[in-house]
Amino acid sequence: MKNARKLRGAAGGALTLALGLSALSVPAAMASPATMARPAAKHAVTYKYTLSRIAWTGSRSVIAATDTHGDLYYFWEAAGSAKWHEQLVAKAKTGLSFSKPAIAWTGATVIIVAQDTAGTLLYFVPGAGGTWRHNEVTSLNGDWRAPAVTGAPGDEALVTAHTATGKLYAFLLTSGSGQVSGSLVTYGISGASSVATCYGGIAGYLGLVAATIGGTLYFWWDNLDLGNWTEETVAQPALGEQFTSASVAASSSSILVTAYNTQGAVDVFVQTIGDSTWQEEQVTGGSAQPYAHPVIAWTGVVGQLGLRSLSYDVITATGPHGQLDYWWAADGSTSWHAETIAKSGKQAAYANPSIAVSAKSVIVTAINSKPGNVIFWHQNFGTTPWPEQLVAKG
């Protein structure tokens, strides 16, 4: 990444906020093994789930989800198991509820970031006895929206969120020290951002952010000192088009950004780490029934072909009528292969999926918006089926 094409963001130095953690007195609630649903004795009233996000810890698949009541939940499943466990992270109360969860593994702990109806940006980490500790990511009054989170080197977490006025910020949370550093990335944001990290060689580890502004697809990078975000224009839409729903990931050699084009296509843009040129790949062509919320990940090395290491770039998105679709390409290839994870129907329409990679498989979650259930799928590397599991019933 030699030069920025245009600098919109003004990262005028880092904000350092000393933060402690307070305890939420919420006991863990375990799912029924038979139904994977909430225990009837504790939850006499059930609510449809609205959003789920997934991550991998090295030994567990973990999901954060919110429901229509505004409660925040955590679900986990051990590797090789088919049993999902449930914990209530934060319960909504009169005038205060939680939404837009994001989840990541820092290398030391699971971290969940969410917003509440007061506009506060919060993070949650596991405490003792199944409780969750929480605090504000920032004390800046910003009416925060649409957070994203990823793990960063040194057991840290990189968080992005934007304010009601469209200012996009990044925050680096340091495990154990209670320190949070933050800086302004850019302004003019109206939709969600996506965040990732990668190793940039001589530049060290980099923070990566992607988002759209006015239909144009943008990308920012920083050396994780949050001092000076460099902006690049990834793609400008043609007349009558817009890019939406940006998602960023990184392989060992490239940065990958995917977005939906309002003409109905899902596109991927690839940049070699250390370069500043973006190459466009069309994952799927235009559709009368458009795709929504494409998200991208890299599998890491999953095998060898002679002396060549095998790894894959993977994308999931909701398609026509709420069908959940999936595409994969060998990393470095421009040939994308399509699969259907789950078909839509009278009792099924999937929304806003999330994707991650475990040691053996690609893992996906989404809400079946008709009953409001949290669903999980996985596909072992080198296979084609997508076994489905009910995580929690709405």
Q: What's phi and psi for 203, nearest 5 deg?
A: -80, -5
Question: Could you tell me the pLDDT band of residue 203, with boundaries at 50, 70 and 90?
Answer: confident
pLDDT recorded at residue 18: 34
Asked whether residue 10 is domain-assigned, the answer is no
Question: From CA 330, how far away is CA 100, in angstroms rounded?
Answer: 31
Statement: residue 140 has pLDDT above 90:
no
Residue 179: helix, strand or coil by DSSP?
Answer: strand
Bigger pLDDT: 17 vs 128: 128
Question: From CA 70, how far away is CA 75, in angstroms rounded?
Answer: 16
Asked whether residue 177 is domain-assigned, the answer is yes
Asked whether residue 6 is domain-assigned, the answer is no
Interval 342-356 mean pLDDT: 96
Q: Which amino acid is at 24?
A: L
Q: How many residues does the chain have?
A: 394
Q: What is the Cα Rg of the chain in Å? A: 20
Asked whether residue 25 is domain-assigned, the answer is yes
Query: What total number of domains does the chain contain?
Result: 1
Question: Could you tell me the pLDDT band of residue 343, with boundaries at 50, 70 and 90?
Answer: very high
Statement: residue 307 has pLDDT above 70:
yes
Q: What mean pLDDT is reported for the chain?
A: 88
pLDDT recorded at residue 288: 62
The contacts found for 40-45 with CB under 8 angstroms, 24 or more apart, are: 45/69
Asked whether residue 369 is domain-assigned, the answer is yes
CATH number of the domain enclosing 286: 2.120.10.10
Range name among 2-16, 211-225, 312-326, 360-374 with the lowest pLDDT average: 2-16
The pTM of this model reads 0.89
Statement: residue 326 has pLDDT above 60:
yes
Bigger pLDDT: 184 vs 40: 184
Question: Could you tell me the pLDDT band of residue 27, with boundaries at 50, 70 and 90?
Answer: very low
**Residue among 328, 382, 333, 334 at smallest CA distance from 360:** 382
Q: What is the pLDDT of residues 78-100, one digit of tens each?
A: 999 999 999 999 999 999 999 99
Q: What is the pLDDT of residues 31-43, one digit of tens each?
A: 332 233 333 334 5
Question: Could you tell me the pLDDT band of residue 1, with boundaries at 50, 70 and 90?
Answer: very low
Question: From CA 314, how far away is CA 363, in angstroms rounded?
Answer: 10
Asked whether residue 3 is domain-assigned, the answer is no
Question: Could you tell me the pLDDT band of residue 141, with boundaries at 50, 70 and 90?
Answer: confident
Statement: residue 166 has pLDDT above 80:
yes
CB atoms within 10 A of CB 332: 12
Measure the CA angle with vertex 163, ends 260 and 185; round to 5°. 70
pLDDT recorded at residue 389: 98
Asked whether residue 229 is domain-assigned, the answer is yes
Q: Which structural domain, as residue segments, surrounds residue 311?
A: 15-392
CA 30 to chain centre: 25
Statement: residue 177 has pLDDT above 70:
no
Q: Which amino acid is at 26?
A: V
Q: Enter the tokens of residue 297.
A: 């990940």
Statement: residue 14 has pLDDT above 60:
no
| 324-330 sheet: strands from edge to edge | 292-305, 308-318, 324-330, 337-342
Interval 4-10 mean pLDDT: 39
| DSSP-H helix ranges across the chain | none
State the sign of the Cα–Cα–Cα–Cα dihedral 312, 317, 321, 323: positive
Bigger pLDDT: 363 vs 290: 363
CA distance from start to end of the chain? 45
pLDDT recorded at residue 125: 95
Bigger pLDDT: 289 vs 246: 246
Contact between 394 and 48 (Cβ < 8 Å): yes
Q: What is the pLDDT of residues 129-138, one digit of tens each?
A: 889 999 999 9
Measure the CA angle with vertex 336, ends 332 and 337; round to 5°. 135
Contact between 241 and 13 (Cβ < 8 Å): no
**Residue among 294, 209, 198, 206 at smallest CA distance from 248:** 209
Interval 233-253 mean pLDDT: 94
Contact between 251 and 297 (Cβ < 8 Å): no
Percent of the chain with pLDDT over 70: 87
Statement: residue 308 has pLDDT above 80:
yes
